Every structure is written in C-alpha cells, then in structure tokens.
Amino acid sequence: MLMRLMAVMALAAGIGFGQSGSSAVFSQLFTQQSATGQSVIFANVRNLGITNHVIEWTVAGGPSGCTLLVESSLDAVSWSTASTNTCTTMGNVALTGTYMYLTVNLTAFTGGSSPNISVNYRGYLPGQGLPVRVTEGGTGSIVAFTPGSVPYAIAGGVYSQDNANFFWDFTNKRLCLLSNTCSNTLDVGGGKFYVTAAGLVGSREQTVTASSAGVVPMTVTGAASQTADLWRLKNSAGTVVARALAGGAIQPDSGVSATGRSRYATIPVGSVAYGSTGTNTTLVAGTIYWAEVYIPANITLTGVAVLNGATVGTDKWIVGLYATAGGAAVANSNLSGTASSGADAFQAIAFTATYAALGPARYWVAFQSNGTTDTLRTIAANTYIDVFTKSATGSFGTLPSLTVPTTFTADKGPVAYVY
C-alpha cells in the first residue's frame, strides 16, 4: 500500500504541478506484456479538477482475448469498476464525472504472439473538447496517424487521414495523390511529375479545360512594369522556340512552319516587263547593295536571284543574305563571283550551302559586282514605299557587316528574290 500511495503522490506532482498553466493532463498508466494485472500508477484526478477522462490503449502481438477494466477509488485501496472494455485491438473509452483516483486493471490477456498492451490516461478540464497531440493526428482523433499521413480537416474541424489517396513519402520526399506509392516528387494518379531547378516536369500531356464557355482556361499575369517574357516554350535541348514578350507580342523563335511560296522578292514582280522594272543601274566595283525582303514562314533557301540590267556577260556577281538585325552575312554565294548572264532577266545564284530561314521575319538581300560594265536592275525612286535600302563601299569578295538601314535610297536596293 505504501508503494501505491507513493506512486499516487508522484503522479499527482508530475501531472498537476509539473504542468501548471496547461489544462490538458497526460500520463502513461500501464504497459504489460503477456500477463494480467493492475496498474500501480493511479491518476489523482480530483485534486486537478479534471472531469473529462479518456483512457486509450494500443495493442501488439495479436491477443485473442483482452479485457481492460477502468477502475475508480476514493482512497486508492478499494476499487470499483467504472468501465469494462474489450482490448484485442487499439481503442479508447471516454468517461465524464468527478473521480478521486483512476487506474486500469487487465483481467484477461490470452493468445497472440508475445502480446503487449500499453494504456494512457488523458484528462481535460470542464467544457473542453479533446485536443490531441500532433503525433496522434491533431484535433478530434485519439488514434495515432499512419506514418506518411497528411492530416486534413473534415466536418466539425476534426482531423482525418486518407493514406490510399493522400500520402507523403518522407524518406524520398515525394507526395502521392490518388495513390500511396510515389515514383517522383509529385505523383497524381499515375501521371508523374517532379520538380527540378528548371521547374515542374511531367511524364504525361497536360490539358487545361474550361469548366464552362465563359471561363478562361489559363491566364498568365506579369508583374508591374514586367520586363521579362511572360512565358517561354523550349525544346528538349532547352532552346526557346517561342515566347510571349513582356508587352504581349508572340515571338516564334523557331519560326512558323507553314506551306507557302518558294520565292520571296524585294518588290512585287510581274506587273511590268523586266526590261522596264526599276532602274538600269551602272554599278561601282566592290560596293555592296542591300534591300530588305520579308519572309513570312520558315523556308530553306538555296540562293538569291537578281534581276540583271540591259548589259551582262563581262562582270561577276556575288549575292548574300543577312538576318533581321544585320551584322555578318548568314549565307553567301561563292566569293570568287559568278559570271553575269541573261540581260533583263533574273539570274539565280546559289549559296555555298542552303540556309534555313525562320519566318515571319525581315531579312536583307545583298549584291556585289567586281566591275562597272554590266548593269543591275535596282529599286527606283518613288516606286515602292515599303522597302529600306542602302549601299556601302567595299572590296570585291568580302561581305562587310550590315548596319540595318532605316530609310529608302533610290537605285541602291537590288530587284531580287530569295529561293
């Protein structure tokens, strides 16, 4: 009896004074392996003012028989049964009332393989609910959650779990939705995703569907004074193939793949006889002549055809192609030159290698002659208002860097087409 009273006193001190300022009291009353018996730990609940009592137990080893009595006493000597419980599986019982001491008595414990039962006491002041430790699932549940559970609130604010459909693999740092087996960082019903430094990666095609006709399926909103692109599309090599610029313009970095013409000219050709088109221009040896050409879709170019003037057969021609921003030529014919031929006719001069032009975009056709005898048809003054041209002195066989023109100069731009 002395041992029991000492235990009572120690427990009362531990849960009463040791937890002053906290309205919830917790104590482990009992751990028993293989045999029956009464706990030697008694909860002095009256002195603490506790009126809500929960006794909960966990069971291991699969016992086939288990009976647990919750007993009360006024003097910790004589005991009466307050609740009788079957305890072959994990469970709990809630008691409400004013008691002096509470303990548990295991009266039956049979079967199983090395069975074990642990019993805890939980007490709360009048008017309280059942706030439960986080390790056991949070508010409203006295059952320990399964490792990996992601708690969520259901009706009444009670916490719950759904391991079959909402699971955190804490070992591999993976989140499973609609399953509890994860192969990647985020797994949604077999459609696997993972996050890298480059962003979210998915193994399946993703579709965004509007819920009704008046709903915009997806919106991308930039920050105030946005300067970076609003979005980008990249190929498997990480190269940007298309983007929405900060101002909203769509830029197809890889061009537009479409069926279109096989030739694009510096000016419209065909309404006037070739011999009357533009100006029959006497050239300056080594000078390079440029005119813009608009290419509306992706095309693989073979070369440039220039419209020869009335005199040909003496000099040699070089043609080239410059990209939108100018700079160095992106394609050119043989730099030793090609003999001119065909008066008042287009002469096709091939590049040394084909060039994959991306459209829609503006390019620049270039022309150079090694002499001053033969003539070239150039875009005349007041003929066209939608083309920029320019010329620059140079040395035959060298195509200089182009500073893009912003004006039209008569008789400087070749009448030509890319093909």
pLDDT grade for 132, boundaries at 50, 70 and 90: low
Where does CATH 2.60.120 sit in the chain? Answer: 2-131, 264-418
pLDDT grade for 183, boundaries at 50, 70 and 90: confident
Above 80 in pLDDT, residue 323? yes
- Give pLDDT tens digits for 27-52: 788 888 888 998 887 777 777 777 88
Residue 280 in tokens:
């029959």
Above 80 in pLDDT, residue 314? yes
pLDDT grade for 266, boundaries at 50, 70 and 90: very high
CB 16 within 8 A of CB 44: yes
Q: What is the mean pLDDT of residues 119-125?
A: 82
pLDDT grade for 205, boundaries at 50, 70 and 90: low
pLDDT at 209: 83
In 216-332 the beta strands, taken as DSSP E runs, fall at 231-234, 240-244, 250-251, 264-265, 279-282, 288-295, 299-307, 316-322, 329-332
**Between 243 and 197, the higher pLDDT residue:** 243
pLDDT grade for 137, boundaries at 50, 70 and 90: very low
49-63, 243-257, 337-351, range with greatest mean pLDDT: 337-351
Above 80 in pLDDT, residue 407? yes
27-31, 162-166, 288-292, 377-381, range with greatest mean pLDDT: 288-292
**Could you please report the per-residue DSSP string of 348-393?**
EEEEEEEEEE-SSEEEEEEEEES-SSSEEEEPPTTT-SS--EEEE-
pLDDT at 32: 84
CA distances from 385 to 196, 272, 408, 417 (A): 51, 17, 8, 18
How do the residues of the chain divide into helix, strand and coil, expressed in percent and rounded to 5? 5, 40, 55
Q: What is the mean pLDDT of residues 362-376?
A: 98
- Give pLDDT tens digits for 65-76: 999 999 999 888
pLDDT grade for 298, boundaries at 50, 70 and 90: very high
pLDDT grade for 259, boundaries at 50, 70 and 90: confident
The number of angstroms, rounded, from the C-alpha of 102 to the middle of its chain's C-alpha atoms is 56
Q: What is the mean pLDDT of residues 293-321?
A: 97
Cβ atoms within 10 Å of 283's Cβ, excluding its own: 23
pLDDT at 172: 86
Share of the chain above pLDDT 70, in %: 84
Query: 2-131 domain in CATH 2.60.120?
Result: yes
Above 70 in pLDDT, residue 202? no
Q: Which residues contact 80 (CB under 8 A, 6 or more apart)?
A: 71, 72, 73
CATH topology of domain 264-418: Jelly Rolls (2.60.120)
Tell me what the pLDDT averaged over the chain comes to: 85
pLDDT at 201: 64
